């Protein structure tokens, strides 16, 4: 019998196949005691297992490249965290086996994160994955992970760790469904980069039986259990039509009546550039520079190393626009040489521009490297600061750019409600705004962007969030300046039309989403987009906003 479940669609496309569950997590090791003379040997075993897991995660990152590499390198750093390792060794010294000590130390760290306000709760899947890999190595059992299969399937899991998501084979994994996670979780972001249809935050996903057939719509979030032949045919037909429309849609982004909407790509480094170029990106709307700094959490990369990486990206878009976000350290991206280790709530502490203003040498080096990287290139370089709260922040960043001799446009990210509310004031100091809708939603609704339990508040269709986007776009228009969107909201084709109607001037997204957004925008006029935007803002919930916009665009 066909039944319908609904989660959060986070990666476009349709997948129809049999269920295969993620390998089960490592069982809790027994609480055996060791003799006093065995402590040194057990501590050595623990260190070897930790180093081996960290090396494996780093190797997986090197294979995956791009954004996945940064995520996995951060996970490798988590495995080798000196405080965690010290806790493991203390537990072994009082009689625990290596595997039990690792299990208990990670459990303690898990509780610590929850006690710190759960900002990092979205990293629990990452933490559990590291623990499972270390314990599995110590026990000599197979690693938990993606199941072996000779036939394509739909992967179902409670959650997916980045190490598994990054190396999924799209030829075998048709799509995936998770019970937890949110639209901006690591797994969701990596799914979009891979082009694998995905639905997260699906209640009861773990109860889906092995081998049953699922039809997954990564656009709507619908999952059909045991779909009928008619439903399969309907979804396959719709997918074929969508594929044909994507192939026919080329060139710069624009509405049906010719209103230009530049479509840019979000990239994490040089490895992400080929996919962006192939998808027809008109430039880069968000160049995340964190990947360079994650190689070594104790030291900043040299100026020369930064120049080399930046130039590779800039050269890929001759006469195109490349918007670089300076280092966004802090919160879930801690760096030992920059961020304090004892903040009670890192999300509301020293993060982003605040961190850089506390370490002006790091900011100066990065800005100087960007200036050198752009020398002699016809690229239109723009540089923006993360976590700008007010005009004082914007002025400090603009002054730093000028002092570094940077010949580029200076901008500010709008990720905090205060920046949207006072956008016109901030634009007295900078030349453009870029809306980071992921963090803007998080701070608007006091809802951690990584916690599935509050995923409805992270939905970019929330009318309150659309109001803040409209405020920012209106301020930019009044000042004769630009206001783009570089958050995951831009990757939703229907929402891209609404954002266009709200007055934003560019959209930036993962490369895999560019064809979908280009094809959808081309179907509607600017006036239709504006009416859809007004209807969405008049709604009282995210679901109502989407339905209202859809009704306008479909002519209902």
Adjacent-strand bridge partners of 33: 96
d(Cα 204, Cα 221) in Å, to the nearest integer? 14
Q: Which residues, 6 or more positions from 28, have their beta carbon under 8 angstroms from its beta carbon? A: 103
HEC string of 369-435?
HHHHHHCCCCCEEEEEECCCCCHHHHHHHHHHHHHCCCCCEEEEEECCHHHHHCHHHHCCCCCEEEE
For 186-320, list the strands marked E by DSSP. 198-200, 213-217, 222-225, 263-267, 283-288
Neighbours of 170 (CB within 10 A): 12
Q: What are the structure tokens assigned to 162, written together?
A: 């980045």
Active-site choice (483, 486, 497, 529): 486
- Confirm if 259 and 506 have CB atoms less than 8 A apart: no
d(Cα 150, Cα 315) in Å, to the nearest integer? 41
- Confirm if 342 and 404 have CB atoms less than 8 A apart: no
Active-site choice (12, 186, 497, 529): 186
Instruction: Tell me if residue 12 is catalytic.
Output: no
Q: Which helix (H) or strand (E) holds 187?
A: helix 186-194
Neighbours of 541 (CB within 10 A): 13
d(Cα 38, Cα 354) in Å, to the nearest integer? 47
How buried is 459 (Cβ within 10 angstroms: 0-12 exposed, 13-18 middle, 19+ buried)? Answer: buried
- Confirm if 335 and 329 have CB atoms less than 8 A apart: yes
Instruction: Tell me if residue 529 is catalytic.
Output: no
Just list the catalytic residues. 186, 486
């Amino acid at each position: 019998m066909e039944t319908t479940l609904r989660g959060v669609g986070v990666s476009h496309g349709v997948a129809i196949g049999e269920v295969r569950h993620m390998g089960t997590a490592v069982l809790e090791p027994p609480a055996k005691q060791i003799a006093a003379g065995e402590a040194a040997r057990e501590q050595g075993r623990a260190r070897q297992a930790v180093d081996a897991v960290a090396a494996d995660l780093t190797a997986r990152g090197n294979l995956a490249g791009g954004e996945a590499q940064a995520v996995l390198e951060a996970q490798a750093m988590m495995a080798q965290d000196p405080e965690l390792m010290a806790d493991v060794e203390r537990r072994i010294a009082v009689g625990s086996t290596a595997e039990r000590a690792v299990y208990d130390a990670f459990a303690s760290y898990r509780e610590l994160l929850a006690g710190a306000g759960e900002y990092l709760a979205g990293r629990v899947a990452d933490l559990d994955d590291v623990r499972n890999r270390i314990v599995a190595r110590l026990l000599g059992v197979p690693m938990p992970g993606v199941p072996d299969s000779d036939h394509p399937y739909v992967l179902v899991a409670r959650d997916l760790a980045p190490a598994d998501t990054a190396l999924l084979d799209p030829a075998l994994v048709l799509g995936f469904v998770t019970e937890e996670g949110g639209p901006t979780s690591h797994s969701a972001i990596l799914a979009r980069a891979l082009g694998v249809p995905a639905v997260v935050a699906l209640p009861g996903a773990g109860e889906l039986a092995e081998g049953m057939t699922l039809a997954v719509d990564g656009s709507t979030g619908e999952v059909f259990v045991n779909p009928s032949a008619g439903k399969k045919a309907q979804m396959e037909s719709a997918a074929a039509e969508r594929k044909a429309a994507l192939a026919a849609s080329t060139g710069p982004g624009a509405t049906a009546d010719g209103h230009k909407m530049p479509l840019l790509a979000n990239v994490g480094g040089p490895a992400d550039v080929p996919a962006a170029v192939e998808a027809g990106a008109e430039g880069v709307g968000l160049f995340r520079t964190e990947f360079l700094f994650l190689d070594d959490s104790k030291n900043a990369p040299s100026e020369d190393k930064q120049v080399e990486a930046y130039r590779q990206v800039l050269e890929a878009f001759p006469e195109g626009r490349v918007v670089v976000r300076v280092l966004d350290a802090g919160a879930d991206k801690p760096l030992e040489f920059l961020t304090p280790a004892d903040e009670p709530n890192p999300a509301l502490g020293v993060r982003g521009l605040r961190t850089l203003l506390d370490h002006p040498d790091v900011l100066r080096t990065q800005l100087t490297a960007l200036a050198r990287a752009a020398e002699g290139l016809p690229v239109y370089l723009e540089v923006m600061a993360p976590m700008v709260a007010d005009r004082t922040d914007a002025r400090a960043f603009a002054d730093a750019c000028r002092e570094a001799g940077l010949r580029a446009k200076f901008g500010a990210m709008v990720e905090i409600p205060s920046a949207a509310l006072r956008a016109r004031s901030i634009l007295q100091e900078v030349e453009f705004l870029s809306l980071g809708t992921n963090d803007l939603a998080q701070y608007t609704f006091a809802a951690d962007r990584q916690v599935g339990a509050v995923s409805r508040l992270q939905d970019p269709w929330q009318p309150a969030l659309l109001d803040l986007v409209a405020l920012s776009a209106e301020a930019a228009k009044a000042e004769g300046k630009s206001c783009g969107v570089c958050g995951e909201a831009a990757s939703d084709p229907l929402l891209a039309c609404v954002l266009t109607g709200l007055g934003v001037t560019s959209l930036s997204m993962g490369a895999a989403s560019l064809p979908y957004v280009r094809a959808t925008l081309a179907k509607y006029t600017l006036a239709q987009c504006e009416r859809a935007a007004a209807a969405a803002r008049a709604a009282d919930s995210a679901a109502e906003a989407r339905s209202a916009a859809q009704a306008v665009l479909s002519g209902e």
